[in-house]
Amino acid sequence: MLRRGNETMEFPGNTLYGTAPEPYEIEEDRAGGALVLRTPFYAIEHDLRAGGAIRAIRLFQGSGENLLLAPMGCEVVLEGDARVFSTLSDSSPRVDVSRDGERVRVDVAGVMRSPEGESCGVEYQIRYEYRWGAIRLCQRFRFPGDGARVRRLTLLQWKLRPELGSFAVRPGAPAEASAWLGAFGVCQWGRFTPGASFDCPYESRFVPRYVACAEQGREGLEWFAGSKLSQWDYQACGRPGYGHLYLGPQSRPPAVVCTISPVNIPSGAVPMAGDYTFDSWLGIPVLSGRAHRPFLHRSFNRHDWPTREKIRAWAEAGVRTAHFHHDGDTFRDGLFWRDGSYPPFGPEDMKEYDRVIRELQEHGIRVATYFSNKELHPTTAAYQAHGAEWARLPGERGQQLHNAYAGDEYGAQMCLRSGWLAQLKENIDTVLRNHPLDGVYYDWNVALYCHNPAHEPDAEPGELPDYGGWALSPVGHWDVDELVELMEWTRQRVGRDGLVIIHNTMVPCAVTENLADYVVAMEWGYGRLATAAPPLASLPLEWSFMGARPRGVIGYGCLERDAPESVHRQMTLRCLLTGTAPWPAQDLDLELFAPLRDYDLSQYRFYDWRSAPVRLEEEGVAAAAYIGAREALVVVGNLTGEARTARGALASGESFAVELPPDGATVVRIPLDR
């Protein structure tokens, strides 16, 4: 909480930003029908009298309010019966709680019932496996032996506070919007203003891979399917297209509503008998309450090893992290770090590699090195032995995808749902054992669709066409469970105070980001700025996502090459006012961030341009604020191309007046001692 005078600011957790797992506290009140799982950062409450459902999610350093306006239950509707049978109507489920190290398991079992308490004969077993900033759900349903004809089976229902109106949807493979087989399967973005806008809901007949709703930069909630996609697309109806996603606004009372149903048949029903299992995840951002240290970052390579003088200049300008990045033949000399190889260079270059790492650290710059989670170069022994077995094969023709570069290639695409995961861990561990790095930089840190039959040996693909599109059959999967496992292993491997940087452009994910220190985003997929920057309120959700981790907005992905300096400055101003940073930091960016350089911002709370306790008198300017125990740092930005005099005051009464250059910013330091 925020205190002033001689008192200190208090923040939770054993690490500055909650990047390392901490144990859950379990609070059971069987008589009162409540079970609460608590960490220093969030609490999740189950209703033991309503199917053990989650009825409250509170992020202590977010709003602190319950994100949910109703419990999250499951429903089934049978043919010829207008009633809705729900887990929420089961008032006496069996609930078992057990601990496994830092994880907690909550197992709930019962019978789906009508609001009047009548059973429909469908039994449920739901396991909630609590991990760090995540819950892995295993939902099992047993239908009567003689079967039931099901019109609808809904497995996710959330009704969220209306502030969580910014959304992301990553469509399932059958509904994938991108025609490029190498594409990530990127998120589709939107925003609702429940009760106050002509919003159109987002609907699909296909179960999505991922859904998130957020109050941008502040808090949010996400859901995504487990790696075995056939559970959602083929298990109940035999093929995709009979499910449903609804994501939309509710006007009275204002709310954001999401339902995901593997079965939703408008006319008719599907026979279901026996057992069905559905695996998925809920993600909760780990919010520390601390202001982020700006992600001012540089990279280096073997072609131009930075000198001690250059490193000193970086440090003096405010650079605080750097990574080695030379994974392609950028300089067309045949010398680059081929993904999966070690050592990548000769002894002299490796000696320089260690020198640069050491000198960066001596100047207070933490160092990582680059790894691609999805690429393995064909020259490596691992590829030659297992390349076909581990390959990501998303298309009907079963072609392996090679990411070409300058007459060579970065590498062939691999799927983590294979032996590639173990090999990648070994590759990473080898580098970290042999060099004094602070941690890792992960590129392609995303889950991707794959149809390699070797990764789903129990599924039968059947005959596929040869049109060159997505391969769609029960063999289809993605590697999200394995990606989470990799991130959990990585945090353990580098240590709680180690450095983890991840790059996940257009597919943010709170579960993986919770275990990282920094996130690189927005490399591609958007219209580039050429003439102006968008209003602050129109920045995409990916820009600051749910606010848990500092993000680097890739300048070369957001700006046209010939964009004037004023557009570059306006983009950097938007970073200053939203708690993000341009990536990698250019000289202009370091200049605009310079007034914050000498402050340990981890001892402040950040309030962006929407929430800063600052009143401004002029139009065309905006302010953010870092509030500390004894002072406020007010960042005032000029969003126009003309000089401005900005006059304003804190909510507590302290006033200020500053001169702002065109497209410029200043930081006003205001003492708060009383």
CA angle 465, 470, 476 (to 5 degrees): 100
Domain chopping of the chain, boundaries: 25-283, 297-521
pLDDT at res. 237: 97
Q: Among 99-103, 149-153, 505-509, 587-591, which is the least confidently predicted range?
A: 99-103
Q: How confident is the model at residue 438 (pLDDT cuts 50, 70, 90)?
A: very high
Written in H, E and C, the secondary structure of 577-644 is HHCCEEECCCHHHHHHHHHHCCCCHHHCEEECCCCCCEEECCCCEEEEEEECCCEEEEEEEECCCCCE
pLDDT surpassing 80 at residue 194: yes
Exposure class string for 253-263: b at 16+ Cβ within 10 A, else e: ebbbbbbbbbb
CATH class for the region spanning 297-521: alpha beta
Q: What is the pLDDT of residues 521-539, one digit of tens each?
A: 999 999 999 999 999 999 9
Q: How confident is the model at residue 652 (pLDDT cuts 50, 70, 90)?
A: confident
Which H helix or E strand runs over 114?
none
pLDDT at res. 180: 74
Q: How confident is the model at residue 244 (pLDDT cuts 50, 70, 90)?
A: very high
The C-alpha atoms of residue 266 and residue 203 are separated, in whole angstroms, by 14
pLDDT surpassing 70 at residue 259: yes
Mean pLDDT of the chain: 95
| Residues linked to residue 275 through DSSP beta bridges, in sequence order | 142
pLDDT surpassing 70 at residue 248: yes
Q: What is the pLDDT of residues 562-605, one digit of tens each?
A: 999 999 999 999 999 999 999 999 999 999 999 999 999 999 99
Q: What is the CATH number of domain 25-283?
A: 2.70.98.60
Mean of pLDDT values over 638-645: 95
The C-alpha atoms of residue 285 and residue 504 are separated, in whole angstroms, by 16
Q: Is 26 exposed, middle or buried (0-12, 13-18, 19+ CB in 10 A)?
A: middle
pLDDT surpassing 70 at residue 3: no
Mean of pLDDT values over 113-129: 97
How many separate helices (H) and strands (E) can be counted in the chain? 11, 40
Mean of pLDDT values over 324-341: 92
Q: How confident is the model at residue 458 (pLDDT cuts 50, 70, 90)?
A: very high
Mean of pLDDT values over 486-495: 98
Q: How confident is the model at residue 9 (pLDDT cuts 50, 70, 90)?
A: confident
Residue 286 tokens read as 């780990």
φ/ψ (deg, to 5) at 439:
170, -145
pLDDT surpassing 50 at residue 353: yes
Mean of pLDDT values over 287-304: 96
Side-chain-facing half-sphere of 11: CA atoms under 13 Å: 20
Question: CB 57: neighbour CB atoms within 10 A?
Answer: 22
Strands (E), 309-414: 321-324, 366-372, 375-376, 402-405, 408-413
CA distances from 34 to 26, 157, 243 (A): 11, 20, 32
Q: Do the beta carbons of residue 164 and residue 67 sit within 8 Å?
A: yes
Mean of pLDDT values over 230-238: 97
pLDDT surpassing 60 at residue 6: no
Q: Among 224-238, 328-342, 438-452, 587-601, which is the least confidently predicted range?
A: 328-342
> Which has more confidence, 42 or 178?
42
Q: What is the pLDDT of residues 390-408, one digit of tens each?
A: 999 999 999 999 999 888 9
The C-alpha atoms of residue 157 and residue 69 are separated, in whole angstroms, by 11
pLDDT surpassing 80 at residue 179: no
pLDDT at res. 153: 98
Question: CB 665: neighbour CB atoms within 10 A?
Answer: 24
pLDDT at res. 1: 31
Choose among 412, 488, 422: nearest CA to 450: 412
Choose among 391, 410, 403, 498: nearest CA to 452: 391
pLDDT surpassing 90 at residue 507: yes
Q: How confident is the model at residue 297 (pLDDT cuts 50, 70, 90)?
A: very high
pLDDT surpassing 80 at residue 183: no
DSSP secondary structure code for residue 304 in this structure: G
Same fold, 25-283 and 297-521: no
CA angle 277, 282, 286 (to 5 degrees): 155
Percent of the chain at pLDDT > 90 equals 92
The C-alpha atoms of residue 512 and residue 480 are separated, in whole angstroms, by 10
pLDDT at res. 317: 97
pLDDT at res. 181: 64
Mean of pLDDT values over 34-61: 98
Q: How far is CA 536 from the centre of its chain?
A: 21
pLDDT surpassing 80 at residue 4: no
Mean of pLDDT values over 485-499: 98
